[in-house]
């Protein structure tokens, strides 16, 4: 996954970041990860055949289009419900007509894939998308450097240095531990029912995926804390390990932008 890009200056971004900063991203060196939500039959544009797809990432939707000889190839390549990385594409802003006269006014912008667009399917992330409603995972390094306090993020990493279940000064039960991935480490605390439920299941080296984990400040450092709506997943080590490795590559290539 992403191996072809690891030694090149390519940057992973989100559809929201593209939408908000269309002029700041070079589509030839930008990587986006999308889920294909829907497609249309190949249809005739003004001059050439066209294939269109509905795609999304982090609640932002976009149209993906292929024209001419590429319409049939991409219609067969991009499967509904699958997750793909795309790079080296064209971007058209909302309401801007393409060469074939097609207009996608319902989408903030359109991604046009070409004969030399790089496409790589992310089978590892697909498993998480199917089970966890498409997490928007952040690396520990991104959390420490960029995350805003009191906001919720999805994280995945290995746990170690698990402490005993204890009662905090506010009278609530807590279970502290170290949480890490290849980009860094951070203190993670499971609270209340989450702490008692997970205590017997946890062991050093286990990989956890956590949806909606809050970022707090404790003794001058950012920490992660579960809240009542958090969900903790005990993931299979093989899948989680691959995702952690891929995330470390992405983190090294990603520009410094706010989460």
CATH class, 131-252 region: mainly beta
- Residue 214's φ and ψ, nearest 5 degrees, are -85, 145
3-state secondary structure the chain: CCHHHCCCCCEEECHHHHHHCHHHCCCCCEEEEEEEEEECCCEECCCCEEEEEEEEECCEEEEEEEECHHHHHHHHHCCCCCEEEEECCEEEECCCCCCCCCCCCCCCEEEECCCCCEEEECHHHHHHHHHHCCCCEECHHHHHHHCCCCCEEEEEEEEECCCCCEECCCCCEEEEEEEEECCEEEEEEEEHHHHHHHHHHCCCCCEEEEEEEEEEEECCEEEEECCCCCEEEECCHHHHHHHHHHHHHHHHHCCCCCC
Ordered by start, the domain boundaries in the chain are: 3-121, 131-252
* Confidence (pLDDT) at 131: 47
The stretches in the chain having pLDDT less than 50 are 1-8, 96-105, 131-134, 236, 238, 248-259
Q: What is the pLDDT of residues 48-73, one digit of tens each?
A: 888 988 888 766 788 899 999 899 99
223 in Cβ contact with 217 (< 8 Å): yes
Alpha-carbon distance 89 to 114, whole Å?
6
pLDDT at 101: 43
27: Cβ–Cβ under 8 A, 6 or more apart, which residues? Answer: 87, 88, 89, 90, 91, 111
- State residue 136's pLDDT score: 63
pLDDT at 246: 52
Phi first, then psi: give them for residue 181, nearest 5 degrees: -140, 180
Instruction: Name which CATH class applies to 3-121.
Output: mainly beta
The half-sphere exposure of 214 on its side-chain side, counting CA atoms within 13 A, is 13
Asked whether this chain's domains 3-121 and 131-252 adopt the same fold, the reply is: yes
Beta bridge mates, 181: 184
Specify the pLDDT at position 115.
92
In degrees rounded to 5, what are phi and psi of residue 160? Answer: -155, 170
pLDDT of residue 9: 53
Asked if 183 contacts 142 with a C-beta cutoff of 8 angstroms, the reply is yes
Entry pTM: 0.50
């Amino acid at each position: 996954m992403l191996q072809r890009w690891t030694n090149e200056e390519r940057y992973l971004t989100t559809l929201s970041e593209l939408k908000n900063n269309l002029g700041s991203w070079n589509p030839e060196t930008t990587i986006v990860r999308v889920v294909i939500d829907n497609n249309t039959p190949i249809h005739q544009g003004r001059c050439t055949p066209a294939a269109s797809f509905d795609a999304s990432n982090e609640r932002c939707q976009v149209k993906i289009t292929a024209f001419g000889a590429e319409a049939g190839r991409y219609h067969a390549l991009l499967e509904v419900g699958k997750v793909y990385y795309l790079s080296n594409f064209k971007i058209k802003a909302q309401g801007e007509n393409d060469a074939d006269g097609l207009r996608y006014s319902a989408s903030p912008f359109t991604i046009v894939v070409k004969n030399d667009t790089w496409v790589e399917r992310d089978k590892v992330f697909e498993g998480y998308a199917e089970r966890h409603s498409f997490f928007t995972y952040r690396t520990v390094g991104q959390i420490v450097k960029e995350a805003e306090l009191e906001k919720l993020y999805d994280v995945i990493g290995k746990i170690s240095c698990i402490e005993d279940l204890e009662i905090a000064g506010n009278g609530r039960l807590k279970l502290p531990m170290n949480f890490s991935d290849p980009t860094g480490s951070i203190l993670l605390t499971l609270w209340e029912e989450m702490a008692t439920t997970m205590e017997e299941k946890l062991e050093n080296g286990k990989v956890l995926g956590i949806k909606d984990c809050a970022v707090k400040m404790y003794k001058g450092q950012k920490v992660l804390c579960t809240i009542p709506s958090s969900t903790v997943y005990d993931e299979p080590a093989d899948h989680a390990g691959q995702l952690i490795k891929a995330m470390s590559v992405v983190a090294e290539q990603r520009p410094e932008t706010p989460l």
